[in-house]
Amino acid sequence: MRVVFLTSSGQLGGAERVALEALHGLLARGATVSLLSLEPGPLVDEVRRAGIAADVLSPPPELTELGEAGRPAMSVIGGLGRAVGPLPRFVKRFAAALDASGADVVYSHGIKTHVLAALSRPSAPIVWHLHDYVGPRALSARLLRWLSRRAKLAVAVSESVASDARAAFGTRLPIAVVHNPVDTTRFTPEGPRADLDGLAGLPAADVSMVRVGLPATFARWKGHDVFLRALAAMQPSAVRGFVIGGPVYRTAGSQWTLEELRDLARELGIADRVGFTGLVADMPSAYRSLDIAVHASTSPEPFGLVIPEAMATARAVVAVPSGGAGELFADGVNAVGVPSGDPAALAAAVSALAVDPERRRLLGTAAREHVVARFGRDRFVDGLLGAFAGAGIGRLPLRA
């Protein structure tokens, strides 16, 4: 079975890391795989280093900047108007690239590539991997509903995303739930630790300092402002905070800028006790350098990959259990849940863990056991192949 993976971004955000796991997982089961990305970046580089074919087909700027997340309706409509002209020509190029790939399965990992694949009408069946809610994106939901008959299967990253998709698409498209994986041989408690102080340009902290981090892309709904306000509400000597990540998408208006976040830290009086590391390639080493990992999304999270990744490294995790994130942990058993958008509640939860190293250790141990049991790569690939088989898409062996 020859599978061509489609991604809107060449960066390594959560959706792209899952695509990479799927690519390697299917390759290990005997599939022939390749990647077609709408932009260059670390994902493309990593795929090529593995000896796998990866091509970049860059769309015109009018299509690159198109998106609904965090943008007013009139801005989105204006963007659509500008995209109408160059779209047919680019769809023709995209269709030619799919035909040249010789794919038996076209496997898309982004809303833009869902649309492009459907408009291209390849002879191979199309699979949409749904990493995001489509319902709140009114125009995207309408467009995907119209195009959904051209797809063979949708794979949702959580029951929450599947429920949203069923409401958007009706019965037009079979939807299977397959939770995202974590490479538990890479995300481990043992191993090197990143120098977060150095990456953030801060002086080395005392070894007794409790390190609290928010690993997240700069999407505006990831709760960076909540995290910074929570740090400001805590005792100055209690913790040092780290924002780990950066902007990874090119959709206009959808992300914080580093300058905005630095300005907010200065306004809150915490510029000397929060560091901005930028994107970290070796994320397991970043998690290991933390005592507490925070997930603070202010909108329902489709999945929340940082939660099981941090849990796999045996970190104490404080997370918002809304949306798909609520399917990933048991509050008080292997992580601590806090309400969305509540800096005071986040500050209280982190403060309690900061002064209780034994509680952090117990949570971390339980977290690691939970992730190994539920989110391993083999289980993920078995889920994908089971969904493929149920939709009549190719056949590869289950658990190798």
Task: Give 344-389 pLDDT, tens digit per residue.
Answer: 999 999 999 999 999 999 999 999 999 999 999 899 999 999 999 9
**What DSSP string runs through 125-181?**
PEEEEE-S--TT-HHHHHHHHHHGGG-SEEEESSHHHHHHHHHHHTTSS-EEE-PPP
pLDDT above 80 for 70 = no
The confidence score (pLDDT) of residue 254 equals: 76
Residue showing tokens 């087909």: 57
Residue 73 has pLDDT above 50, yes or no: no
What is the number of other CB atoms lying within 10 angstroms of the CB of residue 139?
A: 14
| CA 188 to each of CA 13, 167, 179, 284, 362: distance values in angstroms, whole numbers, following the listed order | 20, 38, 19, 7, 16
Region of residue 342 (phi > 0: left; psi between -120 and 50: alpha; otherwise: beta): beta
Residues paired with 301 in a beta bridge = 323
With 60 as the cut, is the pLDDT of residue 79 above it? no
How many CB atoms within 10 Å of residue 235? 10
Instruction: Report the Cα 243 to chain-centroid distance in Å.
Output: 16
Give the pLDDT confidence score for residue 251 in this predicted structure. Answer: 58
CB atoms within 10 A of CB 220: 16
Q: How confident is the model at residue 400 (pLDDT cuts 50, 70, 90)?
A: very low
**Residue 212 contacts residue 286 (beta carbons within 8 Å):** no
Give me 52's structure tokens.
Answer: 């796998």
Structure tokens at 292: 């507490």
Q: How confident is the model at residue 235 (pLDDT cuts 50, 70, 90)?
A: confident
Q: How far is residue 12's CA from residue 321's CA, in Å, rounded to a whole number?
A: 24
For residues 135 and 161, the answer to whether their CB atoms sit within 8 Å is no
Please answer whether residues 131 and 14 qualify as being in contact, where contact means their C-beta atoms are separated by less than 8 angstroms.
yes
* Pairing between β-strand 274-278 and β-strand 292-294 as defined by DSSP bridges: unpaired
Cα atoms in the Cβ-side hemisphere of radius 13 Å centred on 323: 24
List, in sequence order, every beta strand (DSSP E) within 247-305. 274-278, 292-294
Spatial separation of the C-alpha atoms in residues 212 and 205, rounded to whole Å: 12
The 3-state secondary structure of 370-400 reads HHHHHCCHHHHHHHHHHHHHHCCCCCCCCCC
Asked if pLDDT for residue 399 goes beyond 60, the answer is no
- Grouping H, G, I as helix, E, B as strand and the rest as coil, residue 101 is helix
Residue 238 has pLDDT above 80, yes or no: no
The answer to whether the beta carbons of residues 25 and 397 sit under 8 Å apart is no
25-40, pLDDT tens digit by residue?
999 999 999 999 999 9
The yes-or-no verdict on residue 68 having pLDDT over 60 is no
Q: State percent of the chain over pLDDT 90.
A: 81
User: Which token pair is 173?
Assistant: 């498209």
Cβ within 8 Å of residue 150, ≥6 positions away? 118, 121, 126
pLDDT at 43 over 70: yes
> pLDDT, tens digit, for every residue of 261-270?
999 999 999 9
In this prediction, residues 257-277 reach a mean pLDDT of 96
- pLDDT attached to residue 69: 55
Mean pLDDT within 153-178: 95
Which of 2, 7, 23, 12 minimizes the C-alpha distance to 216? 12
375: helix, strand or coil: coil
Q: How far is it, in rounded angstroms, from Cα 179 to Cα 165?
A: 15
Q: Residue 161, CB half-sphere, CA atoms under 13 Å: how many? A: 25
pLDDT of residue 195: 97
Cα dist. 52→29, 49, 289, 390 in Å? Answer: 15, 7, 32, 27
What structural domains and CATH numbers belong to the chain?
2-181+376-390 (3.40.50.2000), 196-374 (3.40.50.2000)
Listed residue (191, 186, 249) closest to 216, CA to CA: 249
Name the residue with tokens 């796998």.
Answer: 52
Among candidates 384, 388, 218, which has minimal Cα distance to 399? Answer: 384
Nearest to 324 by CA among 183, 158, 192, 209: 158
pLDDT, mean of residues 125-139: 93
pLDDT score, position 76:
45
